[in-house]
Amino acid sequence: MQSVVQRAELSHLPGLMATQIDPALLELLACPKCHATLMQSPHGLQCTSCAASYEVKEGIPVLLSDDVNTEHFEEEQHLAQMMKSREQLPEEQFNLNQWALSKREFFAMVRSVVSGPNKKFVNIGCGFDPSFAEFEEQGHTFVNMDLVFDMLANLRKDFGAQSCVNGDVNRMPLRAGAFDYVISIDVIHHECERLPELLGSFRDLLKPKGTLFLEDPNAWGLFQMAKSIFMPRFVYRSLRSTYHTLKRSTHRPADYEFPTNVWRVMAILRDLGFEDIKCYPHTAYPTVSERSHRIYTSLSGSEFVRKYHNYHYMLSAVRA
């Protein structure tokens, strides 16, 4: 990391600091086009192999390839804006509390597995999540990566995030085998048509014996499986879109999103060479009313239900 003296020496050069990134972060990055290493240039970053140039904006490397999916890019920006401006209505408070509890349960799972000092984390599709802070405070390197630049700028401005990368999961701008822990929360259902490739790219980021932590909306969720398992996908998506339109939802899923199948995901992870795959029980159940949550609670005395029939599933898996 640059010393205070080095930062002071650079501070008199107008605009230069905005194009500089921490050398420790640079070591974890790769060209999204050819996966070669990157080097600092006077105006940002440059690939050492294909010579592609990338902007560094507000201290955040913008590592998006030319073939980024325009539909997904625009939709994710729209969803991010809705999330940021979502009204905290009294009738939504129970559901918002369930989302917050779900996030706390997820990071409790992470803490139960993490061991040792100076580990390297990446949260892929981090959104506005400030959970990185506790790991940075413990001396770990924690990279926040998202497709939407404004989310990362928010993390830096409001929460002091040290390491942010603007990148696309379909063209991963991170160095293979560089991370001890990969985190993915509510991401893979955005790319539900290419799960083997996406989960394979997560595996490739991990060091041997590194751990993947995964949470995603569950097709086998107690109040979802009648739709997501037994209903044709195009019908499910059409009804979902109509429902959110009539409800005038402030936050609605993108048309290409679809809940993922916990059993299929675990099978894919095994095929990719992951071992010690564990599913963890969930108490929180977002997206339902208090009455429906009481039904879930009454049926979730079984740990099996809390692991496999929650709105989310959350699991850890170790790269062999």
Residue 153 β-bridge partners: none
Domain ranges within the chain, ordered by starting residue: 4-59, 70-319
The more confidently predicted of residues 151 and 81 is 151
d(CA 202, CA 176): 9
How confident is the model over 295-309, as pLDDT tens digits? 999 998 899 999 999
How confident is the model over 65-91, as pLDDT tens digits? 887 776 666 667 766 666 665 555 566
**What are 253's two structure tokens?**
């899923």
The more confidently predicted of residues 169 and 66 is 169
Give the three-state DSSP class for 120. Answer: strand
d(CA 195, CA 202): 11
Angle at CA of residue 222, ends 220 and 228, nearest 5°? 45
Is-contact 306 300, C-beta < 8 A?
yes
Q: Determine the pLDDT at residue 296.
A: 94
d(CA 60, CA 262): 34
Does residue 260 surpass a pLDDT of 80? Answer: yes
The pTM of the full predicted model, rounded to 2 decimals, is 0.89
Pairing of strands 274-280, 312-319: antiparallel
CB 243: neighbour CB atoms within 10 A? Answer: 11
Q: Determine the pLDDT at residue 13.
A: 38
Domain topology for 70-319: Rossmann fold (3.40.50)
**What are 12's two structure tokens?**
């008199």
